[in-house]
Amino acid sequence: MKSQSDHKAFSQRQLRVGELVKQNIGELFIRNEAKIPSLNSKLITVTEVRMTPDLKTARVYVIPLGGIDTKEIVKILTEYSHLVRKALSKRLDVKFLPKLTFVEDNSFDYAEKIERLIRKNNDKEKKRYN
């Protein structure tokens, strides 16, 4: 028997609030309003924000420019998430300000891997028919 959370779609509300949080954190990073020491937040891209059903926790997927030192960047963001949350509180008017959890976004690596496999397969097909 599957648990309820398996393959459950996100509600419109989760998607809407997630997009709002994503846009605002992105702007915070561009303007360097979070004031995170030893980190140039202008070089960080927020690719996605997933909200829990109660909207009290946000999982923020980030990737630094060029994908360099991703684990270190995520570690620093996690350590100083209270500063990001404080800056976010000045921008959002929501009942509960979500707790932020920063996560490394591997979707670009995964997409690149799939693309390589497809190209490799296409090359094999071309050789077979030539």
Nearest to 21 by CA among 63, 57, 64, 68: 57
Give yes or no for residue 2 having a pLDDT over 60.
Answer: no
Q: How far is CA 35 from CA 49, 69, 89, in A?
A: 21, 19, 14
Which DSSP state fits 69? T
Give yes or no for residue 4 having a pLDDT over 50.
Answer: no
Residues 32-47 have a mean pLDDT of 88
Q: pLDDT at position 47, please?
A: 93
Query: Per residue in 49-102, pLDDT tens?
Result: 999 999 999 999 999 987 788 899 999 999 999 999 999 999 988 888 999 999
Q: pLDDT at position 130, please?
A: 62
**Domains of the chain (ranges, CATH numbers):** 12-129 (3.30.300.20)
Q: pLDDT at position 41, please?
A: 85
Query: Per residue in 22-38, pLDDT tens?
Result: 999 999 999 998 888 88
Alpha carbons within 13 A on the beta-carbon side of 90: 9
Q: What is the pTM of this model?
A: 0.78
Any idea which residue has 């420019």 for tokens? Answer: 65
